[in-house]
């Protein structure tokens, strides 16, 4: 390439940059984007945190992009009223960044752990919750939740966001037009699936593809079913008190198979499950291609921009039905606010992040859901998050955390994923899959 | 980006550069002092000190630490002897990783050097040679992360509807069903290699093309006069005369391949049977909390380069004998 | 091909047989096609990225970049967003500044130190010289991932032997942590730089050195006045190598820097897509911003790169 041509190339590139610059900084707008509520902008509400002028608190989390902006906005008045600076860093390599920094003696002041299991690995470096934080946590969350922030009997962390995972997405209008009722038991769910299939529509859309993490949506299916066989069984399974290939677990996998490996049920056929991207897997619901899709509440943000996600809109979700009469369970995910530093400013940020004030404000800065008692679910910016927050803050609901996030990484972030893929592809039976995962348990 | 943030950063840059200049001047002064008294050892010490200190802290100590860690358990508390090595050579996943790495270090250097050489010969003296070279050379300047993004637009897969990955679009044009390339075992390994080959061929081409220019035209002319065919000239004259450049290229690509981690991390995360040593080392040590196994993988990595080091040492000895 | 051996000895065969001619034309035509195919194949991926970066984000999600040829639609919005947005998912301009601030010393320091070390290793006689050189060569293979934690704890906790602090903790924060990134890059770049420069310096004619020494020049004078000017091409090529490496680095910057404030361009690329990977349509524009500078530098300096690399290591 001649010099002149390279010069042209460089000139073209700079021209693009300049042209972009000429447009000025873009506006960030989005219809679900809210604002910090009035009571959270009043500095009087921050007096209890004292004067933190000049202090900096670093926070590392896996939350990025718009969600991170909304989170930062929710604590912006904490910063301006107390004078503290919160340095938030969102990382796509959260697990490894944490490992390198903690072992390298450069841990962030606060980390937002999406996996309680990972948090427990760092117990030796974590600072337990102070009396004040414990008090806030106890008034703010049910025992089910606090158990996941507790390591060896000591409370370390209160939750930040929470999302409801036992959700099945559907089209309310499609259901009402055809006279389908939202099922409340597993048997009703299967019955409904049969009816829909008989009416000539595929009852289920399923997609497990998620790049390097392909298979994880499948683990949620198994967890949902095991949880509904009994919370004790679920706890034993997750804590490896019973082997992964225990007959009850294999039976649960078979039960999932009545839907996932049923050729009559799956849109495009079961052999497309492992290669259908989870982000777009449910889209056929919009044009009547299929009727239902099991995915967590955060899926509300993944529908195409012009979709009306509401109980009377294009799509909405109902709760994964119970298997046993009288059960009221919910599989959940979320982050835990753990600290590696016990300075005054870090302590105050922890207290703030556990407070009702913060959770209420965050609920209103953008699509989000929380399990913090005392918030008003109606403050959520979208109907689905309101629905999720109502369930999550209901003390009557029995909550269990996503099991694959509690199992060791070799299982929860590896063999369980691949096992699901091989199973749904028909390469392995339920028993073989469970045996292989059990063998990989460290 | 406000002015004070800019000032902070560029201020730091200026301070850093001034400090560095001061250090260089100080070292130079010391060396001058030692030189005047004609103490070779002292001069050598001054010249070598910065590099050696850096390397001791940043590479030698970590290498030793890794070696020790490979003999300990996952959390580093318990001495387990060679258990981690046993794991590496018996666990099916670990074996798969080793096998994949073996395929990588054979295929990538071979193809990169081979394609680069053929291409260099073909474009040698052709009109527009520089443009030809630049086009192939381009990927060399692109980061692995950038390359992974680029190639996602080739391998991207959609079960139905319009394809956005070129490879599947081409299949669709020919009436074939799209394939989820990166999930199909064995094939996906080759497709990841293609990305690295794409990067390294430019390097091979440019170096080998320059080496070709150094082959005296008389030799080729003589061979031609003797009636040698183009392919004979290529194999019997060209290749032997640039043999050393070929080796340099192959070795450089070999080491780059062995250390490769980013492409696998970004494109498949090592799943679906695509893990390689450098990535598995990272996964074990930083994601799965198995420091011992991660360290073991790192040691295996060292071990694979030992032959290259030995070759280099022998090479140096030979030069030593010939040279002085 | 014994028939070829029988062709006349005088220059090019005067009476080329028809078969030979066809073969020659064919092979030359084949050569052209082959070269062209490679050139096109090698360019398509990057071209695809560039075209994608100029397309509206919804289009990127919906159809392939090649559809612009039948249905053109371009926008600079994505560039605008990724460069200047205040959002976590944009604002690359600050990362671009970080990358520049990191890269300049990240290239100068290791190249300077490597030149000094390489001179000592090739022209100063001392015991254990070859052993030291081989050790440094072998260090090239230490995976830098394994060096992250020990080096980071060296910075954050200092160096102690028992209770004795040989070096205190650095306690840097914010923008100042870039100093750690400089040092880390210098360390990781040294082995290759020393290896290449050493190869180059040994090839310098020893009579030149001899002459300088007889004239009474000291080592430091020879280094500065004789050696440095002679090895400029090699230094240029190593500087380009190191520049590419530092600019394109993904791990060192995010590990040794002080969080969001100091992250270089390449390190944020992977994080731009958002928590659930939904913003991946911004990646082409972001990636193109990240690769354009090294590409231009690389293409401009290509000649020096090759000259230095080759002169240094061809012999053997």
Q: Who's near B305: CB < 8 A, 6+ residues apart? A: B255, B258, C138, C140, C141
The CATH number of whichever domain residue A419 belongs to comes to 3.40.190.10
pLDDT tens, C194-216? 988 888 888 888 888 888 888 88
Poorest-pLDDT segment among A7-16, A361-370, B27-36, C77-86 = A7-16
pLDDT tens, A156-200? 999 999 999 999 999 999 999 999 999 999 999 999 999 999 999
pLDDT number for residue A19: 47
Q: Who's near A62: CB < 8 A, 6+ residues apart? A: A90, A91, A92, A94, A112, A114, A335, C275
Q: Which of the two residues, C188 and A38, has the higher pLDDT score? A: C188
Shared domain for A183 and A157, answered yes or no, is: no
Shared domain for C94 and C137, answered yes or no, is: yes
B91 touches chain A (CB under 8 A): no
DSSP code for A232: H
Shared domain for A94 and A140, answered yes or no, is: yes
Shared domain for A114 and A221, answered yes or no, is: no
Contact B144 C248 (CB under 8 A): yes
Q: What confidence tier does A284 reach under pLDDT thresholds 50, 70, 90?
A: very high
**Structural domain contains residue A283:** yes
Contact B285 A409 (CB under 8 A): no
Mean pLDDT of chain C, nearest integer: 83
Residues of C in contact with A97 (CB under 8 A): 254-255
C85 touches chain B (CB under 8 A): no
Shared domain for A336 and A435, answered yes or no, is: no
| Host domain of residue A209 | 167-331+403-440
Minimal Cβ distance to C260: which of A67, A88, A103: A88
pLDDT number for residue C10: 41
Minimal Cβ distance to C153: which of A58, A66, A104: A104
Shared domain for A409 and A384, answered yes or no, is: no
The residue of chain C nearest to residue B246, with distances taken between CA atoms, is C314
Ranges under pLDDT 70 in chain B:
1-2, 38, 319-324
- Judged against a pLDDT cut of 90, whether residue A223 lies above it is answered with yes
CA distance A389 to A392: 5
| Host domain of residue C32 | 15-75
Shared domain for A422 and A348, answered yes or no, is: no
Poorest-pLDDT segment among A41-50, B314-323, C162-171 = B314-323
Q: How far is C6 from chain B (nearest CA, A)?
A: 8
Contact C276 A279 (CB under 8 A): yes
Which of C49, C75, C101 is a domain's end point? C75
pLDDT number for residue A168: 97
pLDDT number for residue A208: 92
Q: How far is B91 from chain C (nearest CA, A)?
A: 22
Q: What average pLDDT score do residues A94-112 get?
A: 91
Which of C24, C49, C75 is a domain's end point? C75
pLDDT number for residue A18: 45
Mutate: best of A100, A110, A345, partner C, most C CBs <10 A: A100
Q: What average pLDDT score do residues A215-233 get?
A: 95
Chain A residues with a Cβ under 8 Å from any Cβ in chain B:
1-2, 5, 95-96, 99-100, 121, 209, 211-214, 268, 272, 274-277, 408-410, 413-414, 417-418, 421, 442
Shared domain for A69 and A187, answered yes or no, is: no
- Judged against a pLDDT cut of 70, whether residue A28 lies above it is answered with no
Strands (E), A82-236: 85-90, 110-113, 150-151, 154-155, 158-164, 167-170, 202-204
Mean pLDDT of chain B, nearest integer: 87
Shared domain for C44 and C104, answered yes or no, is: no
Q: How far is B74 from chain A (nearest CA, A)?
A: 10
Which chains have at least 3 CB atom pairs separated by less than 8 Å from chain A? B, C
Poorest-pLDDT segment among B208-217, C166-175, C245-254 = C166-175
Q: What average pLDDT score do residues C34-41 get?
A: 92
B300 touches chain C (CB under 8 A): no
Q: What confidence tier does A6 reach under pLDDT thresholds 50, 70, 90?
A: very low
Q: Which of the two residues, A384 and C251, has the higher pLDDT score? A: A384
CB A207 within 8 A of CB A281: yes
pLDDT number for residue C306: 72
Shared domain for A103 and A244, answered yes or no, is: no
Shared domain for C217 and C146, answered yes or no, is: yes
C82 touches chain B (CB under 8 A): no
Q: How far is C116 from chain A (nearest CA, A)?
A: 31
pLDDT tens, C270-308? 787 777 777 788 889 999 998 888 888 877 887 777 776
Q: What confidence tier does A2 reach under pLDDT thresholds 50, 70, 90?
A: very low
Q: What average pLDDT score do residues A216-234 get?
A: 96
**Structural domain contains residue C2:** no
Percent of chain A scored above 70 by pLDDT? Answer: 93
ipTM of the complex: 0.87
pLDDT number for residue C23: 62
- Judged against a pLDDT cut of 70, whether residue A25 lies above it is answered with no
**Structural domain contains residue A9:** no
- Judged against a pLDDT cut of 50, whether residue C265 lies above it is answered with yes
pLDDT tens, A243-264? 999 999 999 999 999 999 999 9
Give chain C as a 3 state SS string: CHHHHCCCCCCCCCCCCHHHHHHHHHHHHHHHHHHHHHHHHHHHHHHHHHHHHCCCHHHHHHCCHHHHHCCCCCCCHHHHHHHHCCCCCCCHHHHHHHHHHHHHHHHHHHHHHHHHHHHHHHHCCCCCHHHHHHHHHHHCCCCHHHHHHHHHHHHHHCEEECCEEEECCCCCCHHHHHHHHHHHHHHHHHHHHHHHHHHHHHCCCHHHHHHHHHCCCCHHHHHHHHHHHHCHHHHHHHHHHHHHHHHCCCCHHHHHCCHHHHCCHHHHHCCCCCCCCCCHHHHHHHHHHHHHHHHHHHHHHHHHHHHHHHHHHCCC
Q: What average pLDDT score do residues C132-142 get?
A: 87
The residue of chain B nearest to residue A124, with distances taken between CA atoms, is B75
Minimal Cβ distance to C271: which of A87, A92, A103: A92
Shared domain for A347 and A322, answered yes or no, is: no
- Judged against a pLDDT cut of 50, whether residue C310 lies above it is answered with yes
- Judged against a pLDDT cut of 80, whether residue C8 lies above it is answered with no
Shared domain for A266 and A201, answered yes or no, is: yes
Shared domain for C71 and C122, answered yes or no, is: no
Q: How far is B47 from chain C (nearest CA, A)?
A: 5
pLDDT number for residue B315: 76
Q: How far is B174 from chain C (nearest CA, A)?
A: 16
Contact B287 A409 (CB under 8 A): yes
Poorest-pLDDT segment among A216-230, A362-376, B90-104, B255-269 = B255-269
Contact C316 B5 (CB under 8 A): no
Shared domain for A297 and A158, answered yes or no, is: no
- Judged against a pLDDT cut of 80, whether residue A359 lies above it is answered with yes
pLDDT number for residue C2: 38
Q: How many domains does chain C have?
A: 2
The CATH number of whichever domain residue C126 belongs to comes to 1.10.3720.10
Shared domain for C212 and C105, answered yes or no, is: yes
pLDDT number for residue A3: 47
Poorest-pLDDT segment among A397-411, C1-15, C48-62, C299-313 = C1-15
CA distance B51 to A89: 33
pLDDT number for residue C153: 87
Minimal Cβ distance to C65: which of B153, B207, B320: B153
Shared domain for A77 and A153, answered yes or no, is: yes
Contact A87 C270 (CB under 8 A): no
Domain range B92-323, its CATH number among 1.10.3720.10, 3.30.465.10, 3.40.50.150, 3.30.70.660: 1.10.3720.10
A168 pairs with which residues across the strands?
A: A294, A318
Residues of B in contact with C287 (CB under 8 A): 145-146, 149-150
Mutate: best of A410, A436, A439, partner B, most B CBs <10 A: A410
**Structural domain contains residue A29:** no
Q: What is the largest CA-CA distance in chain B?
A: 81
Residue B177, classified by CB atoms within 10 Å of its CB into exposed (0-12), middle (13-18) or buried (19+), is exposed
Minimal Cβ distance to B229: which of C4, C35, C134: C4
Residues of A in contact with C273 (CB under 8 A): 64-65, 92
Which of A394, A412, A430 is a domain's end point? A394
- Judged against a pLDDT cut of 80, whether residue A313 lies above it is answered with yes
**Structural domain contains residue C3:** no
CB A274 within 8 A of CB B183: yes
Minimal Cβ distance to C85: which of A16, A28, A89: A28
Q: Which of the two residues, A22 and A34, has the higher pLDDT score? A: A34
pLDDT number for residue A354: 96
Q: How many domains does chain A have?
A: 2
- Judged against a pLDDT cut of 80, whether residue A211 lies above it is answered with no
Mutate: best of C249, C259, C290, partner A, most A CBs <10 A: C259
Residues of C in contact with B291 (CB under 8 A): none
pLDDT number for residue C20: 64
Mutate: best of C45, C87, C201, partner B, most B CBs <10 A: C45
Minimal Cβ distance to A67: which of C174, C260, C275: C275
């Amino acid at each position: 390439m001649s010099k002149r041509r390279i010069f042209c190339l460089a000139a073209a590139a700079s021209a693009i940059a300049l042209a972009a610059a000429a447009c000025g900084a873009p506006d960030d707008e989005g219809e679900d984007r809210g604002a910090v509520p009035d009571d959270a902008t009043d500095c009087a509400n921050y007096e209890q945190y004292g004067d933190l002028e000049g202090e900096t608190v670093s926070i590392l989390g896996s939350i990025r992009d718009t969600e991170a902006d909304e989170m930062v906005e929710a604590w912006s008045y904490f910063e301006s009223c107390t004078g503290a600076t919160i340095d938030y860093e969102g990382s796509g390599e959260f697990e490894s960044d944490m490992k390198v920094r903690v072992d390298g003696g450069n841990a962030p002041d606060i980390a937002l752990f999406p996996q309680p299991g990972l948090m427990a690995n760092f117990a030796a470096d974590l600072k337990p919750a102070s009396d004040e934080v414990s008090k806030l946590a106890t008034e703010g969350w049910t025992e089910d939740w606090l158990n996941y922030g507790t390591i060896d009997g000591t409370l370390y962390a209160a939750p930040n966001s929470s999302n409801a995972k036992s959700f099945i997405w559907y089209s309310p209008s499609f259901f009402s037009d055809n006279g389908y009722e939202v099922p409340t038991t597993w048997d009703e769910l299967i019955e409904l699936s049969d009816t829909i299939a008989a009416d000539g529509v595929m009852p289920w859309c399923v997609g497990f593809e998620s790049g390097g993490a392909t298979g994880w949506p499948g683990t949620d299916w198994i967890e949902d079913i095991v949880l509904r066989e009994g919370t004790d069984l679920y706890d034993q399974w997750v804590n490896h008190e019973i082997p992964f290939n225990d007959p009850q677990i294999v039976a649960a996998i078979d039960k999932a198979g009545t839907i996932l490996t049923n050729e009559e049920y799956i849109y495009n056929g079961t052999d497309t499950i492992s290669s259908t991207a989870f982000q777009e897997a449910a889209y056929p619901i919009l044009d009547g291609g299929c009727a239902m899709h099991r995915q967590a509440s955060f899926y509300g943000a993944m529908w195409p921009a012009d979709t009306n996600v509401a109980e009377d809109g294009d799509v909405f979700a109902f709760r994964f039905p119970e298997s046993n009469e009288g059960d009221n369970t919910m599989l959940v995910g979320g982050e835990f606010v753990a600290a590696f530093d016990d300075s005054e400013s870090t302590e105050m940020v922890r207290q703030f992040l556990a407070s009702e004030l913060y959770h209420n404000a965050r609920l209103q800065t953008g699509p989000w859901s929380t399990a913090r008692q005392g918030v008003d679910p109606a403050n959520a910016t979208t109907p689905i998050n309101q629905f999720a927050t109502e369930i999550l803050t209901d003390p009557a609901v029995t909550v269990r955390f996503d099991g694959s996030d509690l199992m060791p990484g070799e299982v929860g972030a590896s063999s369980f994923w691949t096992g699901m893929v091989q199973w749904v592809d028909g390469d392995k039976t339920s028993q073989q899959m469970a045996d292989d995962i059990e063998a990989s348990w460290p | 980006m406000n002015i004070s943030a800019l000032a902070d950063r560029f201020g730091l840059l200026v301070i850093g550069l001034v400090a560095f200049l001061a250090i260089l001047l100080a070292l130079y002064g010391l060396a001058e002092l030692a030189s005047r008294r004609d103490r070779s050892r002292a001069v050598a010490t001054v010249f070598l000190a910065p590099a050696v200190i850096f390397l001791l802290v940043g590479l030698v100590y970590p290498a030793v630490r890794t070696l020790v860690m490979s003999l300990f358990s996952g959390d580093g508390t318990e001495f387990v002897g060679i258990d981690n090595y046993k794991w590496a050579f018996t666990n099916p996943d670990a074996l798969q990783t080793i096998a994949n790495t073996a395929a990588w270090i054979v295929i990538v250097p071979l193809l990169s050097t081979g394609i680069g050489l053929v291409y260099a010969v073909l474009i040698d003296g052709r009109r527009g040679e520089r443009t030809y070279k630049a086009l192939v050379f381009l990927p060399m300047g692109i980061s692995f992360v950038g390359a992974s993004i680029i190639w996602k637009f080739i391998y991207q897969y959609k079960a139905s509807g319009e394809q956005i990955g070129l490879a599947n679009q081409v299949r669709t044009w020919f009436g074939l069903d799209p394939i989820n390339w990166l999930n199909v075992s064995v094939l996906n390994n080759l497709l990841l290699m293609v990305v690295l080959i794409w990067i390294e061929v430019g390097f091979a081409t440019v170096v080998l093309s320059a080496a070709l220019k150094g082959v005296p035209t008389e030799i080729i002319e003589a061979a031609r006069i003797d009636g040698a065919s183009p392919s004979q000239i290529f194999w019997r004259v060209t290749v032997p005369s640039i043999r050393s450049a070929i080796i340099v290229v192959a070795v450089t690509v070999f080491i780059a391949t062995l250390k490769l981690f980013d492409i696998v991390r970004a494109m498949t995360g090592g799943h679906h049977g695509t893990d390689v040593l450098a990535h598995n080392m990272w996964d074990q040590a930083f994601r799965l909390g198995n420091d011992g196994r991660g360290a073991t993988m790192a040691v295996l990595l060292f071990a694979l380069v030992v032959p290259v080091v030995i070759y280099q040492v022998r090479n140096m000895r030979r030069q030593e004998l010939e040279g002085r | 091909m014994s028939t070829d051996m029988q062709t006349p000895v005088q220059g090019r065969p005067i009476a080329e047989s028809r078969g030979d001619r066809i073969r020659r034309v064919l092979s030359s035509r084949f050569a052209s096609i082959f070269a062209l195919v490679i050139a096109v194949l090698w360019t398509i991926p990057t071209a695809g990225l560039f075209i994608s970066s100029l397309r509206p984000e919804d289009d990127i999600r919906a159809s392939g970049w090649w559809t612009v040829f039948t249905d053109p639609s371009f926008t600079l919005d994505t560039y605008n967003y990724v460069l200047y947005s205040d959002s976590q998912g944009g604002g690359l301009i600050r990362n671009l500044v970080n990358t520049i601030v990191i890269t300049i010393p990240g290239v100068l320091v290791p190249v300077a130190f490597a030149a000094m070390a390489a001179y000592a290793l090739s022209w100063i006689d001392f015991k254990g010289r070859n052993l030291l050189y081989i050790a440094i060569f072998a260090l090239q293979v230490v995976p830098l991932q394994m060096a992250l934690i020990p080096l980071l704890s060296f910075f954050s906790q200092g160096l102690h032997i028992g209770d004795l602090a040989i070096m205190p903790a650095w306690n840097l924060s914010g923008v100042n942590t870039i100093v750690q990134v400089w040092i880390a890059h210098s360390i990781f770049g040294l082995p290759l730089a020393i290896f290449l420069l050493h190869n180059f310096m040994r090839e310098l004619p020893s009579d030149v050195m001899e002459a300088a020494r007889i004239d009474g020049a000291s080592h430091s004078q020879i280094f500065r006045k004789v050696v440095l000017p002679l090895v400029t091409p090699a230094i240029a090529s190593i500087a380009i190598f190191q520049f590419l490496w530092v600019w394109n680095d993904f791990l060192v910057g995010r590990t040794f820097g002080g969080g969001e404030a100091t992250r270089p361009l390449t390190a944020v690329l992977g994080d731009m897509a958002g928590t659930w990977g939904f913003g991946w349509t911004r990646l082409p524009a972001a990636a193109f911003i990240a690769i354009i500078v090294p590409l231009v530098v690389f293409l401009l300096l290509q000649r020096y790169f090759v000259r230095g690399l080759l002169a240094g290591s061809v012999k053997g």
